[in-house]
Amino acid sequence: MKKTILITGTSSGIGKSTVHVFASKGWNVIATQRNPEKETDFINLPNVTLYPLDVTDLKSIENAFEKTIANFGRIDVVVNNAGYGVDGAFEAMTDAIIEKQFNTNVFGLMRVTRQAIQSMRKSNGGSIIQISSMGGKITFPLYSIYHATKFAVEGFTESLQYELAQFNIQMKLVEPGPIVTEFYGRSRQFVKPTDSDSYDAFIEKFTDAAEKVMKDAEGPEVVADMIYKAATDSSNRMRYAVGKPGPLLLVLRKLLSDRMFFWMVKKSYNL
């Protein structure tokens, strides 16, 4: 019997690549997007069904899950991929910007997770895969709000796994490093003060160094392959780091003191 996976945020990047991987493996793939009517890449893919889903809209989440259950009977895996990044000087972040970032990356993920639990508990199990980030375990300059959301996802997921084990529901965290996606393009929101140039020199140094890092970044396909590995891994492993140099940096964060790690980051960005 074919397994069924529901993936959020499939219009580009990691989400889109994940649809392709699971479709190629013969799964029933429920690809969800805010505006599915604009999607053209999935037309000729076998086993792919496209539903509207906005993680900030609870009714759209409920509708997508109801349609999936009605058409496929159960959901074996849910991938919480929808999200975007805000970076820049925290001083310039308005309440509206902060709330929007958390509403998508944290509260939206929680809404989908809650719906997945209700479905999987009734069908005696499944896996919920949260697309976190190496930025959920380590930090870099100018990403304070984004890091705050990913740290929240890590803590939320780690705690939740205790109560869901009794229902045979596995919680997984995929932690990508730098990946070439629209996260650094149209999905990016950069913020800085408009009434002061106090941060300009700092931002310029960081941006120059960050662009060099992205030149060596891997594509979203490596993350999609890791998501498939997590979905088919029956062990109790929770975290899956992927995307160089993410896995190495996560190891260094464990081994180095705060002082040494902060020094390394500052040196890397010429700060």
CA dihedral 25, 29, 32, 38 (to 10 degrees): 80
Separation between Cα atoms, residue 99 and residue 96, nearest integer Å: 5
C-alpha torsion 44→68→113→147, nearest 10: 20
**Tokens of residue 250, six digits:** 């996560």
Catalytically annotated residue among 17, 119, 132, 133: 132
Distance of alpha carbon 101 from alpha carbon 12, whole angstroms: 19
Q: 51 an active-site residue?
A: no
Q: Which residues of 165-179 are buried (b: 16+ CB within 10 A; e: fewer)?
A: eeeebbbbbbbbbbb
Query: Could you give the strand order of the β-sheet that contains 169-176, starting from the edge strand earlier in sequence?
Result: 48-52, 28-33, 4-7, 77-80, 126-131, 169-176, 239-242
Burial tier of 45 (Cβ tally within 10 Å: 0-12, 13-18, 19+): middle
Active site annotation includes 132 = yes
Of the listed 3, 150, 172, 192, which one is catalytic?
150
| Active-site choice (146, 228, 240, 269) | 146
Residue 184 CB contacts under 8 Å (≥ 6 apart), including other chains: 85, 214
Supply the angle between the helices 13-24 and 221-232 in degrees, to the nearest 10.
50
* CA neighbor of 23 nearest in space, from 224, 237, 259, 254: 224
Kindly list the catalytic residues: 132, 146, 150
